[in-house]
Amino acid sequence: MSQPQTEITVGLIGAGRIGASHARILAERVPRARLAVVADPRPEAGQALAQRYGARSVTDPLDLIGDPRVDAVVITASSDAHTELIVAAATAGKPIFCEKPASLTLPDLDRALGAVAAADVPLQIGFNRRFAVDFRAAHDAVVAGAVGTPQLIRSLTRDPGLANPAGVPPWTIFLQTLIHDFDTVAWLNPGAEPVEVYATADALVAPDHKASGLLDTAVVVITFDNGARAVAEASFSAAYGYDVRAEVFGSAGMVTAGDGRSNAMVLRDAGGLHQGTARGDVELLGESYVAELAEFVSAVREGREPAVTGHDARRALVVALACIESVRQHAPVAVATMTAAARPGVR
């Protein structure tokens, strides 16, 4: 599997929106990857996606995982299925790419990571912002010392729209959305670990759904063990499009990443100056999805650990869980209280 010229045969589990996007990328954009099987419990969805790229489809993901012709597994199923799928794939000795969040609870995640560690298979989590060229350049600048010691960090996610407020599970804003930002701020503060979290959240976009648990707007302050404070912020309804940005201010300077403009065209007319804004995650961050899957396939081919690991997934999840606790307690929460019961030793 690690010979440079080998083509990696990939099975993809979950034919939803992000599954369809990853399938296209695996089929058309990632060199030396081949999308061979798509698994989805809904036969039509799986078949339609598989046929588009000349792949087979199955309804039971365990058939895909157990197929000896499948070299690696890409999990884009619903989040609550991630744990079992990771465990199954690891047990089958298959390298795993799993969309964020890796799991929704810490016991689940530790069980998944334990299986991965026991099988010693590569596991990559879908924190795609790490692969956006400007975010990566910002990270490289931080690592190179260009901003000195990080002191104030910012990461935000603004989604263009909240189509179906009623369908959003509680705590989604922390577990599914801000989990990206929690990873980003830790990645941009290399070597530091979060120690405390304060979170506040509300239903400002769809206040009618607050009673049923919807939180569509949130601000989180994270204190790291090197003293840096990070602010992570999210909204489920940005009128101007999809907006993802980061900022690291340190003792020697500042880097920023994220530019919501759709391209470099500028129009000036009687109303002033105008530029287009990116309308969706794929428009804004499309190349980052390609790059993360290319990294995964490379890591599989080279038999090495991918650039985003289970450790990263765990740190982000712990912060998300601390946010939930902070909202419940209406107080800052020590991150250690989240992990006290958790097993150590995952990579």
Single out the residue of 217, 183, 185, 184 nearest to residue 200, CA to CA: 217
Query: Which 181-220 positions form the footprint of its own copies (CB under 8 A)?
Result: 198, 200, 202, 204-205, 207, 217, 219
Binding flag, residue 257, its own copies (CB under 8 A): yes
Name residues whose C-beta falls within 8 Å of residue 21's C-beta, 6 or more positions apart in sequence.
282, 289
The residue from 270, 340, 341, 345 that contacts its own copies (CB under 8 A) is 270
Cβ neighbours of residue 267 closer than 8 Å, sequence gap 6 or more: 273, 274, 275
Which of 48/146 has CB closer to its own copies? 146
- Report the C-alpha gap between 120 and 242 in whole angstroms: 37
Q: How far is the CB of 245 from its own copies (least distance, A)?
A: 9
Q: Are 200 and 218 in contact (CB under 8 A)?
A: yes
DSSP state of 261: B
Least distance from its own copies to the Cβ atom of residue 271, Å: 7
Q: How far is the CB of 96 from its own copies (least distance, A)?
A: 24
Q: For residues 288 and 296, what is the distance between their CA atoms, to the nearest angstrom? A: 12
Annotate each residue in 101-140 with x if it binds its own copies (CB under 8 A) or - if it does not, as one string: --------------------------------xxx-xx--
Question: Applying CB under 8 A, which part among 81-89, 97-105, 123-131, 235-243 lies near its own copies?
Answer: 235-243
Among residues 118 and 143, whose Cβ is nearest to its own copies?
143
Q: Please state, in angstroms and rounded to a whole number, the distance separating the CA atoms of residues 115 and 81.
A: 15
Q: How far is the CB of 71 from its own copies (least distance, A)?
A: 19
Cα three-residue angle 325-311-176, rounded to 5 degrees: 50
Per the CB < 8 A criterion, the answer to whether 120 and 93 are in contact is no
- The reply on whether position 305 binds its own copies by CB under 8 A is no
Site membership for its own copies, residue 263 (CB under 8 A):
yes
Report the nearest approach of its own copies to the CB of residue 249 (Å): 7
